[in-house]
Structure 1
C-alpha cells in the first residue's frame, strides 16, 4: 500500500488517540493558538501568519503547536519536537501508521514531514456537541501543487452542508454512498445502529476506516464499489450521499478527481443516484444528497430533475423536496471547479481547461448549472404526498438547523395532504416564535406599502403577504380555529368569507409547511399526528 495512506493498526491508533487528547488537539485550542487574524488568513489559504503564531510553541516543544504545524499547516518539524508531541505513539509509531516520513536516514533523522492532513473537527447535532479527528490527503497549500487525481478530500464546504441538513431520526440502518474520508458515515453512526459506507476509491476507504478507528466508532462497515453495486438487494432506513457530482469534460488532458468526479457525462451521476435510491429504501426511509443539474437550452428550472423522479403515481414513486441553493452560468461553473483542482486563473493551463469545459457545455447546449439539496422519502403506504421544487437564495439562511427543519417539512407535507380545507378550518394554529413581520410605508402614509413575514430559522424565508393574511397570522395564538379567524376577518374587511377563505387557505398551508405557522398539539420532532 502507498506510504501516504494511514494504516489501521488498533494499538498504534489507540496510542495516537491518547496523544491527540493529551495535547488538547481541538478546534477551540487551534483557534486560540493561531489567534483571530491568523485563523482568518488560514481560512483564505494563507498559512504564514499561522506558522508564525505557532513558531515559538514549536521551539519550546509544545505538543499542540507541533501537531498543528505538521498536520494542519503541512510543514516539517524536528524529530525531537515530533517525539515530544507524540510521547505514547513515538516517531517510529507515527512512521509505521503512515502519518509522517523522516528526512534522511531514520537513525539520524533531524526532521520529519507530514504524509497526511490530520485535524480536529467540531460539530453539534440533536445528540449534543462532539469532536473528532479527521485524516485526509494533504491539500494544495501543503503540497504546493495541483492535487493528484485520487486525492482524498477532508471536511470541505460540501461536507459541512450535507451534515448540516442531515435528518437525525433514530434508525436501524444507514448507507453513506461515496463516503470519501468517512465524515458522513461518522455522522450517520450517531443516529443509526449500523452504517454501510461505500466508495469507488480504495484510498478513500482506507482513510475512512482509519478515521472510524481513530474516533472509536465501531458500527461502520466499509465496502468498495461504484454507486449501489456494493449494496445490491439491500435496503436502508436512511441514505446520505455527497456524490462526485462535479460536471467534468470527458476529454484527454482534463483531470478527473475521484473525490468529485463520478466518471459519467454531465449530471448523469446525480440522475443515477436519484433513480437508484428507490430500490434501496425501506418503507418510510429517507435519502438525502447534494447535486448539480444542468439547464439545457430554454429548459425551465427542475425540468430534468422532475424527469428523473418519474411519475408520482407509478409503483415505488418517492416523495421529493428539491431545493436549489445556487445557480451558475457555464463560465462561472467552469472557473469554480478548475480553481478547486489547484489551477490558478490567468495561466495558459487555466484557459486551456476553460475551453474544454465550455466546449463540453456547448455540445449539450448547457447554459446554467444548479446546485442544491435533494430529500427523498419512500412513502410507508406507497402514496406520494409531497413533490416540491424550489429555489432558495443562499443569503440570510440558517444552515445549522436544516436537518430538523427538513424532517418537519416531510411530516407536515404528509399531514397537510391528509387535511382538506374544511378540516383545516377547524385547526388551531400558532405563529412560530422565530417569525417577525416587516412593514414598509411611504413617508406620511397610513397604510403599509409592503408587508412581509420573515423567518429566523429554517431557510430564513421572507414571504410577502397582504392585509388579510397578516391579520390571520397575527391572530394565530392558539385560541381560535383558522375558520373562525377567517370569518372574523371577512366581517372586519367587509369581504365575502368564502372568497377570503379560498384566497388565504392555500397560503396558510404554505406557511404551515415552511414552519411559519404550527398546528397546535404538534407531535414530537415535528410530527403533526397529534394535531386536532
Structure 2
C-alpha cells in the first residue's frame, strides 16, 4: 500500500518546489512558522490533485472524499484508511497524519523524502498531545546535516521519532537500528521507510540503550528528548522532547554510557542541552560526563546557543502551542523558573556533541563556543575532514608538521583593516566561508604563511623565508607558527596537499 501511496504522491508532483509554486514563498515561510492560513487561501478554489494532497497532508485540513479519491487513484480512500492516514466523517476525510516533502542536500548530492508525522498545533488548533510524533523541525535538520557523510557499517538512531535521522544515516550505512520509547514513533518511522523505498532499518521499542544491549555500532546518532522539564505532575511530558530525567540528565546519561555500544573508532553524534549549575559552566559539566565514561572517548563539543532560564522556559512552552497570557502558560512558566532556581541553574546551553571511542594514546578534547551564524548544510563533511586532520596531525611531531606541504582551503579569505593614513594594517583577519565560518585574527607572519600555502613548498621552508623577510628568528617563528598550523589544519583553513 505504501508503494501505491508513493506512486500517487509522485504522479501529483508532491514536491517542495511544486508546493512553493502552488502557495507562494510567503505562505511557504508561514507554514514553517506554524501558520497555515496563507497557504490555505492560496488554493482555496483549486481542485487539482496537488492542491488536494497539499490541503489534506501538507496542512492537515479535512477534504471531501471524492476529491481525495481523484487525487489518490492508486491508493484509494480505502487504502488511506487502512494505513491510518485518514478517518471518514460523513462525506469528509480528516487527515490523521501530516505528510510533507523534505529536501536534503550535502557534498555528495541532493534528494527528497516524504516524511509523515503527527498533526501539528496548526492542524489541531491547539496544544499538542503528550504522545505527539514530531515532524522535521530545525533540530532534526541540524543533526541530519551534522551526520558524517562517510560510508560506515551499523548505525544506531536512538530516539528516532519520525525516522528522519535513520533515513539520513541509511544513505551511508549498511544497516540502521532505530529505537524509541514511543510505539507510535516506530510505526511512523516504519511508514516513512516504506514510503521512500528504504530498506535496512530495524525498529525497536525501548528506553536509551536497552534495546541494543550487548551490541556494537560503528556510528550512533541521536536527537534525544533533551528538553529540560520540571518534574511536576501538572507539567505535560511530551514524549518527543522530555526524556523523564531531572535537568540535563538525558544528555548526561547518553554521554556517560554511549561508549559501551561504540565499536573501536565508532562515532556518536547528538544534540543536547546542558546547564550551568551551581557556578559550574555547562561545557565543563559536559567535560565531566565524558570523563565519567567507562570507555575512553575523544570529544568535540560545540555550544551554539546560551539562554537564561526565562528565555529557555518561554521557548519550550510556546513550542507545544501554549500561548502567552493564558493561565496555563503562566503556571508552566512559574514551574520552570521554580525548578531552575531550586537546582541552582543560571544558564542553559544548546549545542552539538561528537564523541568517538578512542583507539590511540592521543585524545581529542575540544570544548568550544561557536555562536556566529553557520550554514549547517555542509557541516557533516567539515566535521569528517576535521577528524581526518586530527588523526593525521596528532601523530606528527613538530618536525613532521614543518615538513608537510599544505594548501589554503578554497573558502578562506583575508581581510585587512587599516587606520586612516596608516601604511600597515592594524588588524588582519582570516575568514572561513564554509565549515563553522570562523574568523581568526592573524599577525603578519601567520597571514603570510597561509597566503603562501599553495601546495609547492613545505611549511618549514615557508617559515624560514618569512622569518628572513620579517627579520625574525627562524627557530622562534617555527615554535610560534607550527602549533597554529595544527589548529588551522583541524578547523579546515589549511589542508594537506597529498
The separation in 1 between residues aligned to 2:268 and 2:294, in whole angstroms, is: 18
Aligned length: 498
Mapping for residues 439-518 of structure 1, pairs under 5 Å: 439-518=416-495
| Residue in 2 that maps onto 1:372 | 351
| Residue in 1 that maps onto 2:96 | 115
CA contact (8 A) 2:277 2:346 kept: yes
Stretches (4+) displaced over 3 A: none
| Residue in 2 that maps onto 1:230 | 211
| Residue in 2 that maps onto 1:52 | 41
The separation in 1 between residues aligned to 2:131 and 2:6, in whole angstroms, is: 27
In the TM superposition, residue 224 of structure 1 has moved relative to its aligned partner by 0.3
TM-score by length of 1: 0.91
CA contact (8 A) 1:146 1:342 kept: yes
The separation in 2 between residues aligned to 1:394 and 1:101, in whole angstroms, is: 46
Distance 1:520 1:121, change over 3 A: same
| Residue in 1 that maps onto 2:27 | 38
| Residue in 2 that maps onto 1:29 | 18
Q: Deviations over 1:277-316 (max 9, x none)?
A: 11101112111111111101322351111111117xx973
Mapping for residues 271-286 of structure 1, pairs under 5 Å: 271-286=252-267
The separation in 2 between residues aligned to 1:428 and 1:172, in whole angstroms, is: 33
| Residue in 1 that maps onto 2:152 | 171
CA contact (8 A) 1:212 1:218 kept: yes
2:111 is equivalent to residue 125 of structure 1: no
The separation in 2 between residues aligned to 1:343 and 1:316, in whole angstroms, is: 42
CA contact (8 A) 2:259 2:294 kept: no
CA contact (8 A) 1:324 1:391 kept: yes
CA RMSD of aligned residues (A): 1.3
| Residue in 2 that maps onto 1:390 | 368
In the TM superposition, residue 411 of structure 1 has moved relative to its aligned partner by 1.4
Instruction: Provide structure 1 residue ranges, at least 5 long, that are not aligned to the other structure.
Output: 1-11, 522-532
Distance 1:455 1:373, change over 3 A: same
The separation in 2 between residues aligned to 1:66 and 1:18, in whole angstroms, is: 15
Q: Deviations over 1:354-405 (max 9, x none)?
A: 11011111111111111111111113x343431111110141x221111111
CA contact (8 A) 1:267 1:293 kept: yes
Q: Secondary structure at the match of 2:44?
A: helix
Within the candidate set 56, 63, 70, 1:84 is matched to: 70
Q: Secondary structure at the match of 2:166?
A: helix
In the TM superposition, residue 88 of structure 1 has moved relative to its aligned partner by 1.4
Mapping for residues 172-211 of structure 1, pairs under 5 Å: 172-211=153-192
Q: Secondary structure at the match of 2:43?
A: helix
| Residue in 1 that maps onto 2:56 | 70
| Residue in 1 that maps onto 2:87 | 101
In the TM superposition, residue 349 of structure 1 has moved relative to its aligned partner by 1.6
CA contact (8 A) 1:386 1:414 kept: no
In the TM superposition, residue 518 of structure 1 has moved relative to its aligned partner by 0.9
Mapping for residues 403-442 of structure 1, pairs under 5 Å: 403-442=380-419
| Residue in 2 that maps onto 1:145 | 126
The separation in 2 between residues aligned to 1:247 and 1:30, in whole angstroms, is: 35
Larger CA deviation: 129-138 vs 37-46: 37-46
Q: Deviations over 1:169-214 (max 9, x none)?
A: 1112110000011111111111111110000011111111111111
The separation in 1 between residues aligned to 2:66 and 2:259, in whole angstroms, is: 55
The separation in 1 between residues aligned to 2:332 and 2:481, in whole angstroms, is: 52
Instruction: Provide structure 2 residue ranges, at least 5 long, that are not aligned to the other structure.
Output: none
The separation in 2 between residues aligned to 1:42 and 1:290, in whole angstroms, is: 24
Q: Secondary structure at the match of 1:124?
A: strand
The separation in 1 between residues aligned to 2:399 and 2:294, in whole angstroms, is: 30
The separation in 1 between residues aligned to 2:282 and 2:71, in whole angstroms, is: 54
The separation in 2 between residues aligned to 1:518 and 1:409, in whole angstroms, is: 10
The separation in 2 between residues aligned to 1:114 and 1:366, in whole angstroms, is: 42
Q: Deviations over 1:151-176 (max 9, x none)?
A: 00011111000000000211121100
Q: Secondary structure at the match of 2:46?
A: helix
Distance 1:97 1:300, change over 3 A: closer
| Residue in 2 that maps onto 1:15 | 4
In the TM superposition, residue 37 of structure 1 has moved relative to its aligned partner by 2.2
Larger CA deviation: 205-214 vs 33-42: 33-42
